[in-house]
Amino acid sequence: MLVGRIIGRTSPEKFEFEVSDVVKKMDFIATRDPERHWILGRIDGITQEKNKTVAKVSVIGYTDKRGTVRLPRMPFKPGSFIYKADDGLIKKVLSLKSSGLYVGLLDGSENLRVNLDPKILITKHLAVLAKSGFGKSYFIGVLLEEFIENKLPVVVIDPHGEYLSLRERNKKPEEIKYISSFGVKPKDYKKNLQIFCLEKNLMEGAKKLKFKNKLNYQEVFDMFPFKLTSNQMGVIYSAVQNIGKPEYTIEDIRKQVYASSSRAKWGTLSVLDLLKSTGLFDSANYIKPSDLVKKDTLSIINLKGVAPDVQQLVVYKIVKDLFEERKSGKIPFFLLVVEEAQNFCPERGFGGEAISSQILRTVASEGRKFGMGLAVISQRPARVDKNVLSQCNTQVFLRVTNPNDLRSIMDSVEGITRGIESQLKVLPIGTAVVVGVIDQPLIVNIRIRRTNHMGAPAMMPKKLREKEEGDILYFYPKLLEEDVKKNIIKKFEQFKLIYYPLWRLNCKFQTKEGEKIDNIFVDGLSGELVFSRDNVLERTDGLAKLLRLDMKKKAVLLYLSTYGMSTFEQISKRLKISENDLTGIISKLQKQDMISKEDSQYDSNLNLNFEHIIENQITENPVNYKYAGDLLPFKVKKSQTNKVLDLFSPEAVERKMCYYPYWLIFYEDGTVDVIDALTGEKDKHLISEDILDISPK
């Protein structure tokens, strides 16, 4: 679709254009550079200047023969046409992957999937940051589904029990209505989940979370800043020294502390008793890292209802044990997801140091070397340790409005420009800016979850909310204004784009080889079948006459159309029609000029070889958006296509209104050409049959 022309000063990196159609900030656009490369750009901003709208564009580049994205070498010519970029160009230049963790669709497209590379997430880490209520846990739910689908292990620190809903399939009507638009189906992951809880909040089907009761020297001093003063820490130090073993139980330490003469021992004992009362440390039935990290398994550490200090202790111990085992290669590569990260690795100045802070900083800086990925999720980015955030090379931002949080993002995350910063303030629910998948930030409409979500239903983009079963599809033209103009030899008065109506019948058949899907196209003006031959659309001739016949006449005509010239005896035997009946049928069909006889054989006068038609269907895929052009109205109603379907008897069918693009070129000598906008070939049929109401207006 043409959306404007370049104006003012330009450079190979930036330009402005005067807007002539609807565009919005962050849209992708396409234009040609002076060397005739198709260039992809993105709209950074839009301003209104008196009677014109001006869009500012940052150039992304074009793809050379080696697949490398390059910037043009020359500034753009003022007056050059600007188009909305089509999916093919966007996918090619942005190098969007066709496989991976499918999280949603690129904003503005209903076909371009955004897939995250699991290897990058595990080796480069992930941050998901958003204002409360704008979909961060929904996005993580989508991501966890994808990890399970790809049989990759994940461990989730879940302070609020949000991800237990992965056990249930999505049944929300508001979401089920649109789920097919994203190409997924409702599903549950009961078999792939294992849930761990503290003994005090143990739920049905969950396992008790227990740690080995023996601690080493480092663990004692990492865990015991937990509500202890310096004097109390001195008592602990003396107790550990007196034990004289490499590992010790809490009870071993408690006995030594109790024997101390220091007054500080009483406060120390109260903390030791609190640790013991958690029931986390067990001599035999403790959870090993290999119990948590398993292929095709999601392990949820449900900490709902657990005191914050104890939550930090649990996170410290789990993360430390997992990191040590991963370093020694005893467990497979995996992703650790930490919800409410501001509570477990807070920025200094926001609540002090947490017990779990140091180990999470270590994993953030070193985990990538050993195949332990980290995903931190927070609604308050400013309160998350900057050293942790800065190590996350992939970032997903939903709406963020707090100035401190925005400043934190700008300071700690590479690739965030001022244009993206302003976009973060106005993102709708369910839409995210994803940075780090490719060199360019992507705006993504997060897909519907397969599983249930405990919060509010996902908000769908407006395009998908308006999408209904009978929506319209368009074949997007490959030849645009510049291409048409370049190929015109004679002097012309005008050229314009029109869309020709077609019914697409997407049919499912059962064959000996199994299920088969075929498209059948019906001309929306004449009712004839449409197929492709030598890059030009052709129509059957006589389908309307055929459909008006009774069953036996129709069978004879279909037989001759499919198998060609046949004798009277062959027709009678194959169709099992008596000779008396067949004599009358053939006589009537000859009078109607539908069949003819040559020597002793009969042949169809209608161009109705259905096998040939099916084998030569249109191979291009239509899309849900159109390029600027005039739509020709349908004359064939949806109900009329039922008669066509009766000829094929499919098991199921989906009907869509389609439009196929043609360029009409009006020459000064009064002649007109009709050019197929996908192939560039002339279509003489539409002119010769006088189907189109040809006029330049």
Q: Identify the pLDDT of residue 55.
A: 94
Q: Note whether residue 580 is domain-resident.
A: no
3-state DSSP call for residue 58? strand
Cβ–Cβ under 8 Å, residues 380 and 401: no
Query: Cβ-count burial of 546 within 10 angstroms (0-12 exposed, 13-18 middle, 19+ buried)?
Result: buried
**Residue 561: inside a domain:** no
**Measured between alpha carbons, how far is 660 from 537 in angstroms, rounded to an integer?**
10
Write the secondary structure of 378-441 as one string of H (helix), E (strand) and C (coil): ECCHHHECHHHHCCCCEEEECCCCCHHHHHHHHHHCCCCCHHHHHHHCCCCCCEEEEECCCCCC
Over residues 256-274, mean pLDDT: 87
Tell me: do 415 and 486 sit in the same domain: no
Task: Decide if 125 is inside a domain.
Answer: yes
Q: Identify the domain boundary among 412, 432, 465.
A: 465
Query: Across 94-103, 463-472, 551-560, which has the greatest mean pLDDT?
Result: 94-103
Task: List all residues 6 or more positions away from 558 whose beta carbon is below 8 Å from its beta carbon.
Answer: 546, 608, 610, 647
**pLDDT tens for residues 143-197?**
999 999 999 999 999 999 999 999 999 998 888 888 888 999 999 999 999 999 9
CA separation for the pair 40, 90 (Å, rounded): 7
3-state secondary structure of 657: strand
User: Residue 469: pLDDT band by 50, 70, 90 thresholds?
Assistant: very low
Handedness of CA 402, 404, 406, 408 (dihedral sign): negative
Compute, in degrees rounded to 10, the torsion defined by CA atoms 146, 149, 150, 151.
Answer: 120
Q: Are residues 485 and 445 in the same domain?
A: no
Q: Is the pLDDT of residue 513 over 70?
A: no
Q: What is the mean pLDDT of residues 620-630?
A: 77
* Number of H-type helices and E-type strands within the chain: 24, 34
Q: Is the pLDDT of residue 697 over 70?
A: no
467 pLDDT higher than 50: no
pLDDT at 225: 65
Same domain, 637 and 502: yes
Q: How many CA atoms, within 13 angstroms, populate the side-chain half-sphere of residue 175?
A: 23
Domain membership flag for residue 566: no
Task: Out of 426, 445, 465, pick the residue that ends a domain.
Answer: 465
Q: In the beta sheet, which residues pair with residue 574?
A: none
Q: Provide the 8-state DSSP code for 210.
A: -
Strand partners, 516: 509
Q: pLDDT tens, 109-155?
A: 778 999 999 999 998 999 998 877 778 899 999 999 999 999 999 99
Residues 496 and 444 placed together within one structural domain of the fold? no
Q: What is the pLDDT of residue 158?
A: 95
Strand 298-302 vs strand 630-631: parallel, antiparallel, or unpaired?
Answer: unpaired
Element housing 588 (H / E): helix 579-591
Contact 380, 405 (CB under 8 A): yes
Q: Are residues 518 and 493 in the same domain?
A: yes
pLDDT surpassing 90 at residue 500: yes
Q: What is the pTM of this model?
A: 0.65
Mean pLDDT of 57-62: 93
What is the domain extent for residue 513? Answer: 472-541+607-688
Residue 397 lies in a domain: yes
CA distance 116 to 421: 22
Q: How many domains does the chain have?
A: 4
Q: Do residue 312 and residue 243 come from a single domain?
A: no
Tell whether 514 and 643 lie within a shared domain.
Answer: yes
What does pLDDT average to over the chain?
85
407-424 as b/e: b if 16+ CB within 10 A: ebbeebbeebeebbbebb
Among 37, 59, 94, residue at a domain's last position: 94
Asked whether residue 370 falls in the same domain as residue 414, the answer is yes
Residue 696 has pLDDT above 70, yes or no: no
Q: Of 316, 241, 244, which Cα lies nearest the Cα of 278?
A: 316
Is 50 exceeded by the pLDDT of residue 468? Answer: no
Domain co-membership, 523 together with 653: yes
Q: Which of 534, 554, 519 is nearest to 643 (CA)?
A: 554
With the CA atoms of 649, 652, 656 and 658 taken in that order, what torsion angle do they form, in degrees rounded to the nearest 10? -50
Residues 107 and 197 in one domain: yes
Are residues 266 and 352 located together in one domain of the fold?
no
Indicate the SS3 state at residue 301.
strand
Q: Do 386 and 404 reside in the same domain of the chain?
A: yes
State the pLDDT at residue 279.
Answer: 82
Percentage of the residues of the chain whose pLDDT score is greater than 90: 34
| CA nearest to 51, candidates 5, 21, 18 | 18
